[in-house]
Chain A
Amino acid sequence: MSAVRLMLYRSLSSVGPSCLLAAVLAIACTENPREVFRVKTSPADPRDEDAPFSGTEDSDCCESDSADSSDTESLPGVTEDDGPDASASTGSTETNEGTDVASDDARDAGLGTDESQTAETDEANDPGVVPLPNDDELAVLCGPAPVSNAAFTQEALREAAADCAVWHYCRFAEVAEVLDARVAAHEDEPSEGSLDAARVAWQAAMTSWSQVELFQFGPLGSRSDSAGKDMYEGQGIRDLIYAWPTTSRCRVDEQIVTESYATRGMDGALISGRGLYGLEALMFYSGSDTACTSNVVEQWDALSDAERSSRKNAYASAISDDIVQQMRQLIELWSPDGGNFRATFVGAGGEYPDEHEVMKVMAWSLVYLEREVKDWKVGIPAGYTLTHPVSGPETPHALMGTENIRANLEGFRRLFQGCGADGEGLGFDDWLAEAGHSQLANDTIDALDAAQALADVFPPLHEASQAELDELYQALRALTSLLKAEFFGAGSPLNLELPGGIEGDTD
């Protein structure tokens, strides 16, 4: 992060970061046996370690509560000597006081709130901690939301979507810079306070990223994903930053043991163990065990607690730095002064064979709501989705499920309706109106409003009852059914087809 930006943040910031760990852990320990999706299984199964589909409670938080020294010693930055203190702070309800502060911090950054953001530490006001930018600061750095008032044309819509995507990229990049600074600070001087500060920054980054998830076209997208892919210009940057559901704590542990990221660079780290998930596992998982079952275990056990903690901090720093680098590259690719992908996208050039293919790829970004959100994030714990490639819930250690969904819906609105806060500007709804299908546009927005309203008051995902999950699933389904049956498909007024692999879903 540049010095100028750091000074800007500090001068603008009025609220320091908060530590949410205690509240996070407290929430995660809430027993809800029905929800096999939201709590971890036995660490014996590496793939289920972070994917508690089958059973037992989340060991990270609960083990922290148990104040077992073997658990606390593995907290990043918290050595064996720090264990008892860390345990006390994370397990204490006293930290609830900091919840609002932390939430406000994240909200100020335009990131909304989360059920897990319920803690604060005194370190939040530590002048040595790089502050998170709030909305005003982000508006200075990235500008206001780009609202296009142009008359509809397909090119104008691409222009609006491109600007909105870049705007989201910029906002996430700014938060990621803060995250990187805080993780680096924690590596330099590990402490509870520095860890908590990094956690808060991670939560803010995660929420910001959850909006970016809806803009997976161009270099951010993947050429190989069966849904929401950009088979023409995708470079897969998204998976380098956030690869859920392809995430694994074992992959993180492998890096702790082998440190191949240090010798081969981040290319030596597979996507399932890096990016935002890698940071989450390193900063939020408190257990001292490894999620691996193969020969990594022996090497893991051979490491001292202090060595493991040191390696975790170093790897976390490498990850956060890589996220920043990836975002810089992404923004550079879009920049008129760099790769100028914006011109390629708007002009339907590059590898795109024609304008319609660009529109199709752009529209496929909306499918994220159908597959990732409806089928996986909600459909799995609700019991609707039985076949899937998902190891576990999103953000299994930070427990931000509902917050992520809220942000996903907001991202959907900004792409479908318009990039303004309330959907102002050009969006797909304008294309539908232009094609004479205003009713479909209105129906879609109504369904979106209903789903958003429900999500706004939805309890933490891991605490939701079956009835609540059913209700949210049906609300999302009402929205995505319009997408699948009318917006896309054989009868699409816009001649848009669903990506492969979406048609044969659980509906």
Chain B
Amino acid sequence: MVLKVIRTDLFGGRRHPSSLRVRWFILTVLVVRGLAAQADENPAPTPPTESTPAPEQEVPESPPTEPAPAPEPPRPEEPAPSQSLPPSAPEQSPPTETAPLPSTPAPPAPTEAAPPATPEAPPSASVPEPAPNPPSPGDTRTGDAAPSAPESPASAPPPDPEEPPVLPQEPPEVLVNVVGSRPARAPGSVQVIGSRQLERFSYDDPNAVVQQVPGVYVRQEDGVGLRPNIGIRGVNPDRSKKLTLMEDGVLFGPAPYSAPAAYYFPLMARMAQVRVIKGPSAITYGPQTVGGAIDYISRPIPTEPTGTADVGVGQYGFVKTHAHFGASTDHFGFLIEGVRLRDGGFKHLPNDGDTGSTRNDWMVKARYEPDPFAVRRHTFQLKLGYADEVSNETYLGLTDEDFRRDSDQRYPASALDQMKNHRTSMVWTHQYDDEEQKLKVKTDVYRHDYARIWRKVNGFRGAALSSVLEDPENPTNAEFFAVVTGAADGATASDTLLIGPNDRTFVSQGVQSLVSFEPTTGPVQHGIEVGARLHGDSIIRRHSQTGYVMTDGDLVPEGTAEEVTTANTAETIALALHASDALTYHRFTLTPGIRTEVIWSKLEDRLAAQTSKRQVIAFMPGVGAYYAVTEALGVLAGTYRGFSPPAPGSDDYVEPEYSINTEAGLRYSDRPLRLELIGFFNDYQNLTDVCTFSSGCLDADLDRQFDAGEATIAGLEAHAAHEVPVGPLKLPIWLSYTFTRAKFDTTFDSQDPIYGSVQEGDEIPYVPRHQFGGSVGLEHQLGGFVAGAYYVAPMREQAGRQPLAEVVATDKQFWMDAGAKVRPLDDLEIYLNVRNVLNARNIVSRRPYGARPNAPRWVQLGVRLHL
């Protein structure tokens, strides 16, 4: 076996080879020694020593006893192994300098007959070398990319010089730690979408990216993913408010505690990796732990001067401009990246108004290492970000009848709707690594400022838009429907359209720190993580609206004064602590942990001149276990307490959301094959719901929390990924299936129309019973092709138990995407993406006002130049 190690920096960037040769060699030796030690049933790796001689090769090779392949220059823009090691939120295991080696105790060899490392053993040793040329379109694995090391170094055969090269060369592996363990040995479900898989389809829609992961549900809204609605394991997907959302381990939501609705999402083009964490591992992240967490890993700083320019064009005025450039020296490194997405919108207004959007997202990273060669090393990084958006998007959908006639039309009542927002972000990170002590301390100081103004039609003075569009034939609704469509002029105060900006200003800031170390107690290896975060966020709301009269198809100001409907400020200060220890004894790893959230929140209602305060203390214990049946096959199980904090200002009788989440399953990981089958059962003591406009709530109920009582959500997740070599080609395959059953165990009435009047036994809305996805590709070094197919069963749009055919539900959704790329030159890539190849048009949601379509068939063609 050929062992290759790529030295990477702690923030994901690859170090300059010439400056790291010594340490690469050290690490290589350590890996080899570690493997050998495991073969000898000695799981403790040997600590590195400064006196280890350095190899001359740029990239560490196999042990000296093995013939070394010709060194291949790494592809700079490819994330190195530790790039995939996320910069690590303080609540996650920090990235290791040499991949996951230090972070996960090497498990003992299962048997004498299978002496070498377990599949997860010495990950760094099995990390492949980056491709010398632009790599294959991507990684087929959506799961963790735990390297398989089926053979010990000693037994690895030398490479056959006659053997045709397996192509294309893969980019570095995705290696992350979850609660002290790599994903392959994680006690819970962890899925990682690597850079290659991201590049295969080059999705700009965050919904499409995460929909590849089992157990993740999406309620589409605008067709392009401006404001994703993502749920995990049955939680309400509205504005992804029940998930913990992070970029590089730092919460990125505008105000994750005070207003968890995620009105900001980073552009996917900036991302090198997406991690989805479910199960007991979720207690490491917060504040939302009921469903899970998603961590988006941004592009790392490259080791060499590297850049990429990407220009794409497509139907509906689509223009994508994306460029990044970065470089490093021994002490310094930087990266600058910008993305601009523009489309003219696939919907059309009667007045031919613009329905499209323009989004810009800029990021600058700078890193400084005073002494990159020290055993005890400090690294500083500053990440600055700026993003803005102007989108002519609306909450107004269509009646079902109009949808079937022309799903892309928009009613003239939405002609003035427009969202404007901008965001600035700063994250300062310090990381301390003590390789001798296997101690890491990573600290982030962050602040995000976000402001948004969404002018949109909110309804009529005398009727709710949702009611009107649900039943336009109703005599009462017909009056208003005629005005919405412009068929009749406004003639009463009741049918005056209320349009106005919801102006919100957010601040999210804090400091978080994570300490991880890996001591050994007799035969037990530990992977201890202790994290703390002091976070504060706030939201200032000012919602207003003005009357507009539909006149000859145009919206004419009524002339009345602006009406302020909401004026309040919500603030939260939260202290989060967590600790866990991955205890490994032979084949068994037990990971107990606990998370604590202490939350002080305040809501000041300026209209009512009322202020309410609340304090919540929550404890979330959890435990997970993994047993390695064989090198590749493991059994996992775990349970933990899920938590979702109450909205600021909620009454004392409104309880936080608590659940007992349990899962168990099997995982087979023998690279490149990965299989996972996990069943889950979430038992909610008190399911909660926070009202938003996007779910159709009334102004008076906005951001109020409602208790939904007991509920149970159970399901099964299956996932398979493989890359089948076919001569000079590679056949990446990926499959995913989710079965979910979600029901309320309590009878209650909710002001949120998603729930409405709920009877015990009613099914929870927006949870598809079945969801399937899969893709297959054919890839060569000179190009490739990939096709994906997705199916989402109809979802009920309101709680109930009647058959779906008898209630309001989304359409059965089946669509296909395809991508192809050719590489006529080493540095030049031409790609073609076709979204929704079959042009399936479905009602994907009726929230908040009427039926919304998915995007139509959308052809996009681009050129990518690697510098």
A-side interface residues toward B, CB under 8 Å? 46-47, 51, 222-226, 236-237, 239-240, 243, 245-248, 250-251, 254, 270-273, 291-295, 353-354, 357, 387-392, 497, 500-501, 503-504
Contact = CB atoms under 8 A, between A and B. Distances in A.
Nearest to A252: B491
Contact of B471 (A224, A254, A291, A353): A224
Contacts of A222: 474, 476
Contacts of B491: 46-47, 248, 250-251, 272-273, 291-292
B684 interface: no
A350 to B, nearest CB: 14
A500 B475 contact: no
Contacts of B749: 497
* 7 cross-chain pairs, A with B, having the tightest CB-CB distances, nearest first: A504-B700, A389-B462, A389-B461, A224-B467, A248-B491, A391-B493, A246-B494
B471 A271 contact: no
Given A222-B476, A389-B496, A501-B698, 16 more contacts: A47-B490, A51-B492, A223-B474, A224-B467, A224-B474, A243-B476, A245-B493, A246-B476, A248-B492, A270-B488, A272-B494, A291-B491, A292-B489, A292-B491, A389-B462, A500-B698
Contacts of B676: none
A503 B751 CA distance: 11
A245 B492 contact: yes
Nearest to B463: A224
B720 interface: no
B860 interface: no
Interface stretch (B218-226, B321-329, B372-380, B477-485): B477-485
Contact of B482 (A240, A270, A294, A503): A270
B383 to A, nearest CB: 43
Contacts of A237: 475
Contacts of B495: 246, 272
Interface in B94-119: none
Contacts of A271: 475-476, 478-479
A225 B476 CA distance: 9
A243 B476 CA distance: 8
A372 B493 CA distance: 15
B215 to A, nearest CB: 32
A353 B757 contact: yes
Interface string B460-472: 1111100110110
A47 B497 CA distance: 13
A295 B474 contact: no
A387 B700 CA distance: 13
28 contacts: A46-B489, A51-B492, A222-B474, A224-B464, A224-B471, A224-B474, A224-B476, A236-B474, A236-B475, A239-B475, A243-B476, A245-B493, A246-B492, A270-B478, A271-B476, A271-B478, A272-B479, A272-B491, A272-B492, A273-B491, A294-B551, A294-B552, A354-B759, A388-B493, A389-B460, A391-B492, A391-B493, A500-B751
Contact of A503 (B461, B470, B700): B700
Contacts of A500: 698, 701, 751
| A246, A251, A354 interface centre (most CB from chain B within 10 Å) | A246
A392 B492 CA distance: 9
B164 to A, nearest CB: 68
B700 A390 contact: no
B699 interface: yes
Contact of A388 (B461, B464, B475): B461
Interface string B204-247: 00000000000000000000000000000000000000000000
Contacts of A387: 563
B496 A47 contact: yes
A353 B461 contact: no
Contacts of B460: 389
Nearest to B493: A391
Most A-side CB within 10 Å, residue of B470, B475, B494:
B475
Contacts of A226: 464, 698
B549 interface: yes
B479 A501 contact: no
B525 to A, nearest CB: 55
B610 to A, nearest CB: 13
Contacts of B478: 270-271
A271 B482 CA distance: 11
B700 A246 contact: no
Contacts of B552: 294-295
A47 B549 contact: yes
A223 B759 contact: no
Nearest to B561: A386
Contacts of B489: 46, 250, 292, 294
Contacts of B468: 224
A443 B460 CA distance: 37
A450 B225 CA distance: 58
Interface in B730-771: 749, 751, 757, 759
Nearest to B491: A248
Contacts of B464: 224, 226
Contacts of A51: 492-493
A141 B378 CA distance: 96
Contacts of A389: 460-463, 492-494, 496
Interface string B540-552: 0000000001011
Nearest to B697: A500
Contacts of A248: 491-492
Interface string B585-609: 0000000000000000000000000
B476 A245 contact: no
Contacts of B751: 500
A273 B494 CA distance: 13
B691 to A, nearest CB: 11
A222 B759 CA distance: 22
B492 A236 contact: no
A247 B462 CA distance: 11
A224 B700 CA distance: 18
Nearest to B565: A387
B698 A353 contact: no
A503 B489 CA distance: 31
B475 A224 contact: no
Contacts of A388: 461, 493
A141 to B, nearest CB: 27
B467 A47 contact: no
Interface in B420-478: 460-464, 467-468, 470-471, 474-478
Contacts of B759: 353-354
A240 B698 CA distance: 26
Interface string B680-698: 0000000000000000001
Contacts of A245: 462, 492-494
Nearest to A240: B475
A51 B496 CA distance: 13
B547 to A, nearest CB: 9
Nearest to A222: B476
A503 B462 CA distance: 16
Given A245-B462, A272-B495, A388-B493, A224 B698 contact: no
Contacts of B488: 254, 270
A504 B697 CA distance: 13
Of B493, B749, B757, B759, most A-chain CB atoms within 10 Å: B493
Contacts of B492: 47, 51, 245-248, 251, 272, 389, 391
A223 B753 CA distance: 14
A433 to B, nearest CB: 26
Given A243-B476, A294-B552, A223 B467 contact: yes
Contacts of B476: 222, 224-225, 236, 239, 243, 246, 271
Interface string B43-76: 0000000000000000000000000000000000
Interface in B488-518: 488-496
Contacts of A247: 492
Interface in B687-729: 698-701
A486 B478 CA distance: 36
A270 B699 CA distance: 28
